[in-house]
A and B are shown apart, each in its own frame.
Chain A
Amino acid sequence: MATQAESGRKTQSFVSVHAGTIAVLAGALLLAIVPLVGSRYYVSVFTQILILSIFALSLGFLMGFPKLISLGHAAFFGVGAYAAGIFATRVDPNVVLTLGVALALSLLLALVIGVLSLRSTGIYFLMITLALAQLVYVASQQWESLTGGTNGLVGIPRPELFGLLRFDRTTFFYLVLLLAVLSYLLFRTLVRSPFGRILIGIGSNEQRMRAIGYSPRSYKLTAFVVAGAVAGLSGALWAHFNGIVTPEDLHWSHSAEALIMVIAGGAGTLIGPMLGAALIWLLESALQSYTDRSTMITGIVFILFVFFARNGIAGIAQSAWERVRR
């Protein structure tokens, strides 16, 4: 099977094999100019979009390949945010350490939630991830001495780097941009690796993979943990950017929003969820300045995507590309 895939790949052109990577790198180069030409406002806008796109990417990886529909992904985002925020306020705002702590804790949480929830599949998996994530949400509200309760954790200092650099708006933007590209490359490498092939196999037919002799659960758990850790990383960046973390960052509606971003962008691709994050964020913030009914319009846009463009923006782009080539 491997040789078949290899030979199949040789016949494809370089561009179509690496289309996603080329697009991401080109996009990153374009974004890299933003601080040079754009106002401070646009730098903030793109920082937020990039952080959310990392979050959506991690969920999109789960939904698109092993087909794990989780409704508790915000728990990892939130725990990463709290971990980085608490560490930065109480111990050290060194970004390597805060992100490291956030990664470690969200990874650990993903391991626990993954072990517990992956016993179930389908709608049961969705519900138990929701329940466990809501437990974390309530804990973040109640553990006031650590999290600041419902008021949230405030006064998170700007991160710095071993005393060499104190991040300002622009340098922080570049940090986020770098991490977004790295996250994409991480997931892309995973998807293209033998491990990723097995995940795709599990996503399309778990029974058959088990019959061949794979143990789907350990593969799914690994995918779940990696996705959780990356979500934690995006949460940590979010905490540094906003200077505040509230329990709302862990609420299940935040998980649902990530799910909308993935669907709008296109599950089954990696670049899609990132574009979906940009689209939904821009849509909501653009609408918010004109109308209070942004949720309704988001709902309508979401329904239209499910109805007419089930593969999201990535699907639309793909079919347009094929039409051009023909």
Chain B
Amino acid sequence: MSEIQTLATHMLNGLAYGFLLFILAAGLSLIFGMMDVINLSHGSFYLVGGFLGVGLVDDLGNWWLALAVSVGIVAVLGLIAEISLLRPMYNRDHLDQILLTFGLALIIEDASEWLFGTTIQSMSYPRLFSETVEVFGVVIPSYRLIVIFVGLLLAGALYLLLERTRIGSIIRAGVSDREMVSALGFNITAIFGGVFVCGLALAGFAGFIGTPILGVYSGLDFEILILTLIVVVVGGLGSLTGALWASLLIGLTQILGQAYFPSFASLIIYLVMAVVLLVRPQGLFQRRYA
């Protein structure tokens, strides 16, 4: 394989990784835009999605059914977390809610170690996409292309949802003026709950589809959380466009860094973030809506 082909393989892997990060960052950004809460348990719900996936793919025997059930369970867990932890805290400082999500993250991390140990668990590709394909002379697993495709699809769907639908305009209105939306008769508590659950369901979804590529293990939750936080901060908190570009930037940097400068890969990521924030303290893109 020539140099160029190797580079192209890494680029495609980086794109797949980037879109995986985008699915996470979109959820985090959506929650932040709506509730002003940085959800520090975002990586934990990624982990839950992954672990559920590993178990359910075996038990149910159907990859797609397992995907649906895992995302459903994560959404229900998210709803429980929202009702029991965040809802009683709405009239308190946002920092309190952030701290609560951090406490939740600690609990989930330890629980996952308890239940699944510290060894890395893997999941098979769905049968439909278990082959490799050749793109521009580069051989890569078709599953990675699907992840890229799903990420793109999701970016488009979120854009349409937020810009073109009634729900989207309510959410955008809630982002800019919560009290006014509430005064107009919309049930802000239900909207908050819905956005939070959707954000976490996205995290669980990312956990499921990411596991065939990355595997899943206790400790991955905080790695994912930090990467996602880097993405949203680099992209600009609350900006979906920013999250998309930053995901691709960080995803590509991470994979290319690991390939060419293995011992400095994580250094490069933090360096990118530090440089972006020093040049543009509010991230690459201005906050527009969730």
What is the distance, in angstroms, from B276's C-beta to the closest C-beta of chain A? Answer: 10
User: Any chain A CB within 8 A of the CB of B104?
Assistant: yes
Contact segment of B47-55, B68-76, B150-158, B260-268? B260-268
Contacts of A302 on B, CB cut-off 8 Å?
99, 102-103, 106
A256 and B102 within 8 A (CB): yes
> Which of A69, A116, A139, A293 interacts with B274 by CB under 8 Å?
A116
A252 to B105, CA, bound (A): 15
**Per-position contact with B for A95-110: 1 when CB-CB < 8 Å, else 0?**
0000000000000000
Given contacts A138-B264, A296-B106, contact A131 B274 (CB under 8 A): yes
What is the distance, in angstroms, from A272's C-beta to the closest C-beta of chain B? Answer: 15
User: Any chain B CB within 8 A of the CB of A22?
Assistant: no
Contacts of A120 on B, CB cut-off 8 Å?
277, 281-282
A142 and B107 within 8 A (CB): no
B114 and A292 within 8 A (CB): yes
User: Any chain A CB within 8 A of the CB of B159?
Assistant: no
Given contacts A132-B274, A303-B100, contact A123 B106 (CB under 8 A): no
User: Any chain B CB within 8 A of the CB of A42?
Assistant: no
A119 and B278 within 8 A (CB): yes
User: Any chain B CB within 8 A of the CB of A193?
Assistant: no
B277 and A303 within 8 A (CB): no
Contacts of A139 on B, CB cut-off 8 Å?
267
A69 and B267 within 8 A (CB): no
What is the distance, in angstroms, from A233's C-beta to the closest C-beta of chain B? Answer: 26
**Per-position contact with A for B73-100: 1 when CB-CB < 8 Å, else 0?**
0000000000001001100100110011
Contacts of A256 on B, CB cut-off 8 Å?
102
Given contacts A135-B271, A296-B110, contact A142 B263 (CB under 8 A): yes
A258 to B222, CA, bound (A): 17
A142 to B270, CA, bound (A): 15
Report which residue of B96, B102, B105 has the largest number of chain A beta carbons within 10 angstroms of its beta carbon: B102
Contacts of B100 on A, CB cut-off 8 Å?
303, 306-307
Contacts of B266 on A, CB cut-off 8 Å?
134, 138
User: Any chain B CB within 8 A of the CB of A195?
Assistant: no
B110 and A142 within 8 A (CB): no
A78 to B103, CA, bound (A): 24
What is the distance, in angstroms, from B2's C-beta to the closest C-beta of chain A? Answer: 31
A299 to B107, CA, bound (A): 5
**Per-position contact with B for A50-92: 1 when CB-CB < 8 Å, else 0?**
0000000000000000000100000000000000000000000
Contact segment of B12-20, B129-137, B170-178, B226-234? B226-234
User: Any chain A CB within 8 A of the CB of B237?
Assistant: yes
In chain A, positions 286-326 with a C-beta closer than 8 Å to chain B are 292-293, 295-296, 298-300, 302-303, 306-307, 310
A63 to B113, CA, bound (A): 31
User: Any chain A CB within 8 A of the CB of B259?
Assistant: no
Looking at chain A's contact residues, is the secondary structure mostly helix, strand, loop, or mixed? helix
Q: What size tier do the contact residues of chain B reach?
A: 35 or more
> Which of A124, A252, A263, A292 interacts with B226 by CB under 8 Å?
A252
A134 to B222, CA, bound (A): 13
User: Any chain B CB within 8 A of the CB of A127?
Assistant: yes
> Which of B99, B103, B237 interacts with A300 by CB under 8 Å?
B103
A178 to B113, CA, bound (A): 40
Contacts of A130 on B, CB cut-off 8 Å?
226, 229
User: Any chain A CB within 8 A of the CB of B273?
Assistant: yes
User: Any chain A CB within 8 A of the CB of B38?
Assistant: yes
What is the distance, in angstroms, from A193's C-beta to the closest C-beta of chain B? Answer: 26
User: Any chain A CB within 8 A of the CB of B109?
Assistant: yes
User: Any chain B CB within 8 A of the CB of A151?
Assistant: no
User: Any chain A CB within 8 A of the CB of B111?
Assistant: yes
Given contacts A142-B263, A295-B109, A306-B96, contact A128 B274 (CB under 8 A): yes
Nearest B residue (CB) for A63: B95
B106 and A119 within 8 A (CB): no
A131 and B230 within 8 A (CB): yes
A298 and B106 within 8 A (CB): yes
Nearest A residue (CB) for B237: A123
What is the distance, in angstroms, from A10's C-beta to the closest C-beta of chain B? Answer: 33
A138 to B274, CA, bound (A): 14
Given contacts A131-B273, A293-B110, A299-B103, contact A123 B85 (CB under 8 A): no
Contacts of B283 on A, CB cut-off 8 Å?
124
What is the distance, in angstroms, from A129's C-beta to the closest C-beta of chain B? Answer: 10
Contacts of B95 on A, CB cut-off 8 Å?
69
Nearest A residue (CB) for B236: A124
Contacts of B92 on A, CB cut-off 8 Å?
310
A214 to B270, CA, bound (A): 33
A296 and B107 within 8 A (CB): yes
Contacts of B264 on A, CB cut-off 8 Å?
138, 142
The 4 A-B residue pairs whose C-beta atoms are closest, nearest first, are A299-B106, A296-B110, A303-B103, A295-B110
B interface, CB within 8 angstroms of A: 38, 85, 88-89, 92, 95-96, 99-100, 102-107, 109-111, 113-114, 222, 226, 229-230, 233, 237, 263-264, 266-267, 270-271, 273-274, 277-278, 281-283
A interface, CB within 8 angstroms of B: 69, 116, 119-120, 123-124, 127-128, 130-132, 134-135, 138-139, 142, 252-253, 256, 263, 292-293, 295-296, 298-300, 302-303, 306-307, 310
A-B contact pairs, 11 of them (CB 8 A): A123-B237, A127-B233, A135-B267, A135-B271, A138-B270, A142-B267, A252-B226, A256-B102, A296-B114, A306-B96, A306-B99
- Extra contacts besides A127-B229, A131-B273 (6): CB < 8 Å: A130-B229, A252-B226, A299-B107, A300-B107, A302-B102, A303-B85
